[in-house]
């Protein structure tokens, strides 16, 4: 890959403002996500992490500013450009957001069916591989979302997000509500997928362990803006919230693990 392609950001957000009524969520927010990195987004509740994710994937209108994803302006683009974008990104929602009337395999096939022209046997084959990739047994494919556990729903949601091999993967709290073992497995999974599929991952999370384990850089939402850097860089930032976050007991515990490993 040419060097320019490496440095060229896959997402570029400039001068973003978000306002709900008189409540300002983001003001003059700037962020660049580099190709091939795992970016963890953290912040206190109500700082607009999920809102930011929703704005990037076009589910939420921005008040002002620009969001550029894969060279396309999300805030203002035509239907065709949107189609291409949707094919090149995958979004995993918190609870998996599986369509409840479809089986897990059919859920994975929804984007394939909608955006490609593969025959059914090929779709089945893709669904089978994706299921195995996210660590689900083949017979999970025939089950309905109501018949599987929360952790399995998340995995199935990830499989659906990965159905068309996106370049960019959005994860909304992927490890929230999982037991530590499943959460570790999920971290490993993301790490492996990133290595084999060359993914760029934008991950909203609260899980300090997964921040330490898999994120290349961390973006912190404070004071309506974003401070971004590697873990070590952020430790040096002179901001009370950031200090509290990484130097608090939980933060130290997670970092301690890192040093021991």
Partner 1 sequence: MLKRSARKTRDSRELGTFEPKADGDRMKVTLTGPWDVPTVMAHQQTMQKFATDPSLEFAKQSVIDVSGVTRLDTVGAIAVSLLRERLGRYGEAEITGAHDGQETLLEQIASFDAQPIPPPPKRTSLDRIALLGEWAVGIGYEARSLVGFFGELSVVFYRLARHPSRLRITSIVSHMQQVGINAMPIVGLLAFLVGVVLTFISGDQLQRFGAGIFIVNLIGIGVLRELGILITAIIVAGRSGSAFTAEIGTMKINQEVDAMRTIGLDPMEVLVIPRVIALILMLIPLGFFANMVMIAGGALMASLTLGVTFAQFVTQFQSAVALHHLWVGMVKTPFFAFVIAMVGCFHGLQVAGSAESVGQQTTQSVVQSIFLVIALDALFAVVFWQIGW
Q: Which residues bind partner 1 (CB under 8 A)?
A: 83-84, 87, 100, 103, 105, 115-119, 122, 124-133, 138-139, 141-142, 146, 162, 164-165, 195-198
| Beta-bridge partner residues of 43 | 221
- Judged by CB, which is closer to partner 1: 30, or 73? 73
- Judged by CB, which is closer to partner 1: 125, or 244? 125
In degrees rounded to 5, what are phi and psi of residue 78?
-75, 175
Tell me the closest approach of the beta carbon of residue 59 to partner 1, in angstroms: 19
Tell me the closest approach of the beta carbon of residue 259 to partner 1, in angstroms: 29
3-state secondary structure 53-106: HHHHCCCCCCCEEEEEECCEEHHHCCHHHHHHHHHHEEEECCCCCCCCCCCHHH
Tell me the closest approach of the beta carbon of residue 66 to partner 1, in angstroms: 21
Tell me the closest approach of the beta carbon of residue 124 to partner 1, in angstroms: 6
Q: How far apart are CA 68 and CA 45, in angstroms?
A: 25
- Judged by CB, which is closer to partner 1: 125, or 233? 125
Tell me the closest approach of the beta carbon of residue 84 to partner 1, in angstroms: 5
In degrees rounded to 5, what are phi and psi of residue 74?
-70, -35
- Judged by CB, which is closer to partner 1: 114, or 179? 114
- Judged by CB, which is closer to partner 1: 152, or 219? 152
């Amino acid at each position: 890959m040419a060097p320019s392609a490496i440095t060229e950001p896959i997402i570029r957000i400039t001068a973003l403002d978000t306002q709900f009524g008189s409540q300002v969520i983001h003001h003059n927010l700037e962020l660049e996500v580099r190709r091939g990195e795992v970016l963890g987004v953290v912040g206190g509740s109500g700082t607009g992490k999920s809102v930011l994710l929703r704005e990037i994937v076009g589910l939420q209108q921005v008040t002002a500013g620009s969001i550029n994803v894969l060279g396309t302006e999300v805030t203002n683009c035509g239907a065709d450009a949107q189609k291409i974008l949707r094919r090149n990104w995958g979004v995993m929602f918190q609870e998996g957001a599986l369509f409840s009337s479809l089986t897990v395999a059919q859920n994975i096939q929804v984007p394939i069916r909608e955006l490609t022209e593969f025959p059914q046997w090929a779709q089945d084959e893709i669904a089978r591989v994706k299921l195995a990739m996210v660590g689900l047994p083949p017979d999970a494919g025939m089950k309905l979302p109501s018949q599987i556990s929360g952790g399995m729903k998340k995995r199935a949601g990830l499989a659906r997000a990965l159905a068309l091999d996106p370049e960019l993967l959005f994860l909304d709290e992927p490890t929230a509500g999982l037991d530590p073992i499943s959460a570790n497995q999920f971290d490993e999974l993301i790490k492996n997928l990133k290595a084999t599929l060359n993914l760029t991952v934008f991950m909203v999370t609260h899980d300090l362990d997964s921040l330490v384990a898999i994120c290349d850089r961390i973006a912190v939402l404070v004071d309506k803006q974003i401070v971004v850097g590697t873990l070590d860089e952020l430790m040096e930032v002179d901001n009370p919230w950031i200090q509290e976050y990484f130097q608090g007991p939980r933060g130290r515990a997670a970092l301690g693990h890192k040093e021991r490993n």
